[in-house]
Structure 1
Amino acid sequence: MNKPVNEKDLVQLITGACSPRQRARIERWLDQKPEHRERLSKLRETWTISGELELHQKEDETWDKISQRISNPRHLTIHRLAEDEDAAVDKNKGKLHSKSMHPEYSPSTRSGRWVSGVAVACLLIVGTFYLLYDYGLLGEQQHQPGERAMQKVTADRGERMNLTLSDGTSVVLNSSSTIRYPSRFDGSKREVELEGEAFFSVVPHEDKPFLVYTNRADVRVLGTRFNVNAYADFDGVEVVVENGTVAVASDSLTKQVDPALKNGEEVILKKGEYTIVREGAGPTSPVNVSLDLYTGWINGDLIFEATPLDRVIKRLGRYYNRNFEVADSSLLDRELTVSFKKESLSRVLEVLSVALDVTHEQKGSLIYLESNK
């Protein structure tokens, strides 16, 4: 019999401390009932509020950090994209459902609403602290000299997150994506690590470049708006610029030289330009593209242009929190050109069935596609 999943397991999943076998067991448990994913989401929200908990600190030192956060919170909003058939769109307002993690009130405000918001945050923070302490996740380990405390935020399947970094840079984190960043940007560079996809609006700082590290490519910028797609299940890292200028280099090259890279070892992208970095290769030459194709997801839109079904169902799976299977692998090469504007899952499946001449069958979180030919 499988060992039951408890809060300690979920905390270890959130913090990245669980083993591959433990992660697989938790994923199976999450797929059993929608209530299980809701339980994980609530715990993750509580963890995020107390985001500056440093696991090596003593209780009184941790509380001092938490108290500072209450007076100057970092905003983070979680958008539930499509937890059920009609959750993608609020039928009355036509807006994505969302839950704000911090009250958007000025610390100088004396309204009862702000006080209530802080009181709730305090309760959640204290609860999280004791949860972590009881489970032995708070210790007294010391950082090595020069080591920075990194924070980690993950947008689960079916979620999209908005967060603001300490320098004022805003980040929109797509489903099944993780970002790691320091609580403060010290030194001469602002560095973050990305797994998955995110859209960055970087606050300009001429003397402190902003760097995004991914599995295959690194992006360097002083101040601009750009999108990075670095999902592990895709064979490349895509970068597109909405405004400003960025430099893109393959990861292997970037680790060998200073961020001020030599000519020929990087590609410079300007507004409306795109590049892709594939395994073992440098970035491709910049090309002009339609920005909506790469950034529409920020507004809940899914836009495909001659996109293979293999990539389509991966994006749909992350967005709607579903798993797709096909009867014949040849289906995966079929291309699709279509736009979904905050559509329900049932509507999306109808379009796929007609456009690709397939039938679909849904059982729980699994969607099975089979060709009619």
Structure 2
Amino acid sequence: MSNNSNRVWLLMSRCLNGEASAADENELELLMQADESVRQQYNTMRALWRSTAPDTFQDNIHTREEVNVARILQLARVEEAVAAPVVPAKRIWLTPQRVAVMVAAASVLLIAAYWQLVYRSGDRRVQVIVAQNGSRMQSKLPDGSTVWLNAGSSISYPVNFTGSQREVELKGEGYFDVAKNAGKPFIVHTAGIDIKVLGTAFNVKAYDTDKEVETTLISGMVQISRSGKGQQATPIVLHPDEKLVIPRKKVMATAQKSAAVAPVTEEDLQLADSKIMHINTQLPSAELAETAWMHNRLVFKGESFGELAPKLERWYDIAIEFTAPSLQALRFNGSFENETVEQAFDALATAVPFRFQIQGHKVLVMADK
């Protein structure tokens, strides 16, 4: 491995670990600007870094250094990936040389090998699959169920469903085609709710940045309830062709350590505030806004620019900056499939006049003259 490659991995590990200096961060940014594959590698590793935490490992691993070594060794033993990306993207290969560089460079490391990560939580082996921004992925679960992940999403689950339930945790958006097993319910934990099914097909959209959590049922039946023992609200049952929309709310935290401490807000999802909408499943799934992404199509209907921007950011792995708040009120209808970033923004600007500049991974949106 070349000295330059060693240097790239050294800088990546320092940035993930939080030990990078300003000079290190600037150097890595310049390298990513010069080589897009370096940016893709770093984005993938950062996404997986955020998907797990050191305290998820066995209790008999006490020191920070032991956690670091355990995580690196686990990653080095990752089996051949089973996740097949719908949109090709660069895979990250973890070689012994790179492990050596990273161990020497940082005290906490989590480096992605392939799209699939296996780690140990207690006596369970847990699998994590991540679809980074700009990609979609499909994978088979241990029970034969199929999951599709939209851009900027991840799913974690036991390597084997050995208990009385099949439980997975979703962050972002995923479509599930669940294998039927009446004696072993399938449960998706996401954004403070639990979605319980026996055998069905449904889509869940629960990005952290979204103002709402959506569950769309295509076939079968699902039951949605609040997560946590303290939530006793009656579950909501969805039937085919229905979509449940639950608004996210910021509420005051119930416990305060001191009256002198500034009030703390936390997110709350109340099923009583949700609404059920009917969708037209007579349309092909490639035409439905809720499922078109599985066919590599981004469909939007009557959405404001402010609502569309996060979707475009995930779809194209870009950052959008508005120079005026009024621009976010512009509304659009349409779809994108194979368009480049420039082609997509040209089309939007043709429908509703505005100006834009593409600056690397950032798109600056400006009012029309």
Any idea what SS the aligned residue of 2:196 has? strand
When residues 31 and 284 of structure 1 are mapped into structure 2, their CA distance, relative to the original with a 3 A threshold, is farther
1:227 and 2:196 aligned: no
Match of 1:286, SS?
A: strand
Instruction: Tell me the equivalent position of 1:357.
Output: 353
* Equivalent position SS for 2:215: strand
Q: 1:193 aligns with which of 169, 174, 179?
A: 169
Residue 36 of structure 1 aligns with which residue?
38
Does the CA contact (< 8 Å) of 1:169 and 1:201 recur in 2? yes
- For 2:242, give the aligned amino acid: E
Match of 1:284 in 2: 274
Could you tell me how far apart the structure 1 residues matched to 2:342 and 2:41 are? 25
What letter is aligned with 1:354? Answer: T
The CA distance in 2 between the partners of 1:239 and 1:163, in whole Å, is 20
Corresponding residue number in structure 1 for 2:339: 343
How high is the TM-score relative to the length of structure 2? 0.69
Partners in 2 of 1:200 and 1:207 — Cα distance? 19
What amino acid is aligned across from residue 84 of structure 2 in structure 1?
T
Residue 369 of structure 1 and its aligned partner are, at CA, apart by 1.1
Give how far 1:309 is off: 0.8
Percent of aligned pairs with the same amino acid? 25
Unaligned runs of 5+ in 1: 48-52, 81-96, 102-120
- Aligned pairs (5 A) from 1:12-91: 18-19=17-18, 25=25, 28=29, 32-33=33-34, 34-40=36-42, 69=79, 75-80=82-87
CA RMSD between the two structures: 4.2
Partner of 2:147: helix, strand, or coil?
strand
Counterpart-to-counterpart distance in 2, 1:30 and 1:174: 28
Q: Is the CA contact 1:267–1:286 (under 8 Å) kept in the aligned structure 2?
A: no
Contact residue 187 and residue 194 of structure 2 kept, 8 A: yes
Partner of 1:255: 228
Q: Distance in 1 between matches of 2:194 and 2:148?
A: 18
In the alignment, residue 210 of structure 2 is paired with which amino acid?
F
Question: Using a 3 Å threshold, how does the CA distance of structure 1 residues 345 and 143 change in structure 2: closer, same or farther?
Answer: closer
> Does the alignment pair 1:274 with 2:243?
yes
Following TM superposition, by how much is the alpha carbon of 1:56 offset from its aligned partner in structure 2, in angstroms? Answer: 7.2
Correspondent of 2:309 among 290, 309, 313:
313
- Asked if structure 2 preserves the Cα contact closer than 8 Å seen for 1:5 and 1:29, the reply is no
1:163 paired with 2:170, answer no
Deviations along 1:105-157, one digit per CA (max 9) or x if unpaired, are: xxxxxxxxxxxxxxxx9x9677787777777779xxx978x653322222111
Secondary structure of 1:293's aligned partner? coil
Q: Quote the Cα distance in structure 2 between the aligned partners of 1:310 and 1:321.
A: 16
What is the Cα deviation at residue 160 of structure 1? 1.4
User: Which of the pair has the greater relative contact order for Cα pairs under 8 Å at 6+ separation?
Assistant: 1
TM-aligned CA distance change 1:137 to 1:371, over 3 Å: closer
Q: Deviations over 1:39-89 (max 9, x none)?
A: 447979xx9xxxxx9997999xx79x959x5xxx66212244xxxxxxxxx
Call closer, same or farther: CA 1:157–1:28 in 2, change over 3 Å: farther
Query: What's the CA shift for 1:220?
Result: 1.3
Distance 1:353 1:57 in 2: 48
Task: Provide the TM-score with structure 1 as the length reference.
Answer: 0.68
How many residues in Structure 1 have an aligned counterpart in Structure 2?
308
* Cα deviation 1:157-212 (Å, max 9, x = unaligned): 11112122211121111111122211111211111111111111111111211111
Q: Secondary structure at the match of 2:151?
A: coil
Say if 1:74 and 1:163, in contact at 8 Å, map to a contact too.
Answer: no
